Structure 1
Amino acid sequence: MNWLTKKGFHNQKTQNQKETSESKKKKKNDDEAAKKMVDFRMPLHYPKYSKEDYLNMEEWRLDLLLIQYGLLDHVNGTLHYKRNFAMGAFLWPHQF
Structure 2
Amino acid sequence: MVPTDADHALEIGRTLFPREGSPGGPVGLFVHEFDIGYLIYPGYPVHDDPNVPPPCPGGSNAVIAKADGKVTFLPNRPPEDAVELYRLLLSRETP
TM range (shorter): under 0.3
TM-score by length of 1: 0.25
Q: Larger C-alpha radius of gyration, 1 or 2?
A: 1
Higher share of residues assigned strand: 2
